[in-house]
Each structure stands twice: as structure tokens, then as C-alpha cells.
Amino acid sequence: MVGALSPVWVRVEDMQPLVLTRDPSLLDDLARLAAGAGVRLDVRGDPVAALASWSVAPLVVVGDDLVGEVAAVAPPQRAGVVIVSTAPATEVFRLALELGAACVVELPAAEAHLGALFADVEEVPGRGLVLGVVGGSGGAGASTLACALGQVGGRDGPSLVIDTDPVGPGLDRLLGLDETAGVRWHDLATSAGRLGSRSLREAVPRRDGVGVLTWAAGAATPAPLARVRDVLAAGQRGHALVVLDLARQAGALSAELMARCDLVLAVTPATVSGVASTMRLIEPMADTSRWRLAARRGPVPVRDLAAATGVPLAFEVPEQRGLAEAVDLGLGPVRHRRAPLGRAVARFLAEVA
């Protein structure tokens, strides 16, 4: 057993951000920003009447003209509350703390930030499941498994496979998306500003529910750590499943990404060298409670891998005929639902979700 992880990403098509204000000028500004993001607003001038929508709205925007009245009715604490002010005021910040607001923003300086928040309101506050995949040894097939997880996960909700290894094979090639238009790491690494979840989902190469973020062909350099954090956060907000193809090389980026995963799968060949290499990978880790093994069959009995490494077994990765052919044809590692790899991955995802 892997241990259940409750899914927290929910898509709500008809949810609207809740806006509380009686200021016509402020409402005009917010309506303009919402229209630019393609969303409608649920506008309320009565804080008591707004309580019915307070907890279920994907985003709550409170104007500084009503922040005192809203605080007075003591709505329940929740994520995704933003206070909008037209001028800085100490009292506004105090009341924002009472409401547990995420931030206080001032117009017109924060128009871009508010526009990005409105663009994200198709998801309720929460995040998708994050799985990391790393090779227990070189050539173990971690990238192939990462793509298989993305393909199978994409059947039930949008999934995103993120390439974090600049010297890897290029995950768009493994998924047959290398000739599909879309942003790559170099596009995001040089951009600035908050990254919206919908913007990311619509910008990356995508097919059949799975998107991929990797490097363009040619020389690749690691993306800045701050940008990687932004991408992961946007990916979690906009996808039911995010799969990180992790590099084996030790470093600050790999260590942080592993710490941000709900589970990390170490793809381990059941060989003496494969087990030894996996043990070297795991040994420096302070906490391996969220690590699991994805075993590749070999001369070492699979049942002995957990005892040797101290990490529980998640599942056995089956051998699959025609895997290389499927990748070469641009179909990805899971070319149909009956493929052995697809069935094994589907069982694993059903168990963790």
C-alpha cells in the first residue's frame, strides 16, 4: 500500500469571484480587469448577504470602503481573500489582518496582479497532487515513467509533466510533442511577473489532457530557482496532477523540489548495482517518509528491494513490448489503455488519489 493522498484540485466551471464594494469607481476598475481575464463577478454591497458565497467563491475581493463592515460580521477564515485599496491606510491593514487576507493591494499599481488573480479563478483554492520521479540509477527509465504518469493522469483531469533536468532526453520528444508549438523553459526563464495557472496550462505543448514543460532543442541551462517555484505553484493551481522529472544530481534545486513533492518515486532496477545506486541516492536524504520505489524487474527479488533500501515499494514497472516504437511514433510511452505500463500506472494513481 502506498498510503492515500486526498486530491485537493477541483475545477468549478461556473464559480465567480466574490466582490464586496459599494464604490462605483472601484467596481468599474474591477469589472474591467475581470473582463480582460474572461470572468464574471459576483458583486455584493451587503456583507451579511455575501456570507452565503464567502466560503465557496474561488476568490474574494473586498474594497476598502467595506472592509470595516466585512470584518464586523466576522466571516470564517479562508484562503484567497484580497483587500483592494485606492490609497494606503493603516486601518485597512489592521482590518485585513482580522480577515486573514492574503494581501492588500493598491490600484492602479496592482492592476496586473489583480488581473492575474482573476485569470486563475476557474480553480477553487487548493492544489493538484505533485509526484516526483527520479532514477535510482542511470538509465532506469525515470523520464519514461514520468511521461506515463502524465499521460494516464491526464485522462481524469489536466496533468503537467515538468522537466527539471536540462541534460535529459527532452520530455516533449518522449510524449510526441516536440513539434507542437508552446512555451519552453527559456521562454519562462526570461519573463517576469506572476504566472497564472490558466496561462501556463494553455501555453505549454499539450495533447489528450497532458501538457509538458521542457527545454527547446539545443543547449539547455537550468531555470532560475525563483522561476521554477512560480511554475510549480501555477502548475499546482491549474492541474489535477503535476509530475516532476527530477535530476539525480544533488543540488539546491533538486533538494527543494523533492521536498515540495507529495510523493517521490525512485525508479530502481532490481539489480545489485541498481540497488546500490538507489541507496547512495537516498542516504543523504533527511526525510524519506514520502519516498517510494518503482521497481524494474531484475535478478534481485522485488520483495527484497524495500528491505535493502528502507523505502516501501509502490509498484513494479512492467516490461512493455513496443515501448520504443510507441515513443518513436510520437504516441508517448502509453499508446493505449491496455498497455501494461498504463495499467500499472493507473492502479498506482487510483491508490494515491
25-71 pLDDT per residue, tens: 999 999 999 988 778 899 999 999 999 889 888 899 999 999 999 99
Same domain, 155 and 291: yes
Domain boundary among the residues 119, 151, 167 is at 119
**pLDDT single digits (tens) 211-240:** 999 998 876 788 888 889 889 988 988 899
Same domain, 86 and 204: no
Print the domain residue range for 106: 18-119
CA-based R_g, the chain, Å: 23
pTM across the whole model = 0.74
Interval 158-165 mean pLDDT: 94
**pLDDT single digits (tens) 62-108:** 999 999 999 999 999 898 899 998 876 778 888 998 899 989 999 98
Answer whether residue 159 is part of any domain.
Answer: yes
Rounded to the nearest 10 degrees, the angle between the axes of helix 225-238 and helix 252-260 is 20
**pLDDT single digits (tens) 254-289:** 888 998 999 999 999 999 999 999 999 999 888 899
Same domain, 180 and 80: no
Q: What CATH number did the domain enclosing 25 receive?
A: 3.40.50.2300
Same domain, 231 and 305: yes
CB–CB of 353/8 below 8 Å? no
**Per-residue model confidence (pLDDT) at position 249:** 80
Identify whether 333 is preceded by a cis peptide bond (ω within 30 of 0): no
Same domain, 169 and 286: yes
* Tally of helices (H runs) and strands (E runs) in the chain: 15, 13
Answer whether residue 172 is part of any domain.
Answer: yes
Same domain, 70 and 194: no
CB–CB of 264/258 below 8 Å? yes
Same domain, 77 and 146: no
